[in-house]
């Protein structure tokens, strides 16, 4: 089983989309392994987005992420990184298909509701950064009804 890091950004939290987003991942058959509501400090946000530090939008992105609480989550399941990105939709909401989170709930690229790891490697790094205390180890009783 693979794990991914998903973050509901401040606009998603402020708009009351947390339950809807969690529900979409649960309904797909993924397992929630870690969840916390938190306010992000600037140095932490800069570390999270370090790979984008040379981009012109970096400072605006950091300002956005620290502007309000976020919900940090770890999800587990078969191909959860790739499938999670499909559930989320394209970075630009205008290119996101209806039925995706961004396709349904976002208009502006700078207010696109959610972040998801883009690879297994980045998921490992992001999970280690956001959940240094570790995550819950459990398996759902419906596991055999979802996975062969």
Task: Please list the active-site residues.
Answer: 115
Q: Which residues are annotated as a binding site?
A: 9, 57, 85, 91, 102, 112
Q: Where are the beta strands (DSSP E) in 2-69?
A: 2-8, 31-38
d(CA 29, CA 116): 17
**Taking a C-beta distance cutoff of 8 angstroms, is the pair 4, 128 a contact?**
no
Q: Which residues are annotated as a binding site for ATP?
A: 9, 57, 85, 91, 102, 112
**Taking a C-beta distance cutoff of 8 angstroms, is the pair 32, 22 a contact?**
yes
d(CA 98, CA 78): 23
d(CA 49, CA 46): 5
d(CA 39, CA 52): 20
């Amino acid at each position: 089983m693979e794990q991914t890091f998903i973050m509901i950004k401040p606009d998603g939290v402020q708009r009351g989309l947390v339950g809807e987003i969690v529900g979409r991942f649960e309904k797909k058959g993924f397992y929630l392994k870690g969840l916390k509501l938190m306010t992000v400090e600037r140095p932490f946000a800069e570390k999270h987005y370090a790979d984008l530090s040379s981009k012109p939008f970096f400072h605006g992105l950091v300002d956005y992420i620290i502007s309000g609480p976020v919900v940090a989550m770890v999800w587990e399941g078969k191909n959860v990184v790739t499938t999670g990105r499909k559930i989320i939709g394209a970075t630009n909401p205008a290119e996101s298909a209806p039925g995706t989170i961004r396709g349904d709930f976002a208009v502006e690229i700078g207010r696109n509701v959610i972040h998801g790891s883009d690879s297994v490697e980045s998921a490992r790094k992001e999970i280690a950064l956001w959940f240094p205390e570790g995550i819950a180890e459990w398996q759902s009783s419906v596991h055999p009804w979802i996975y062969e």
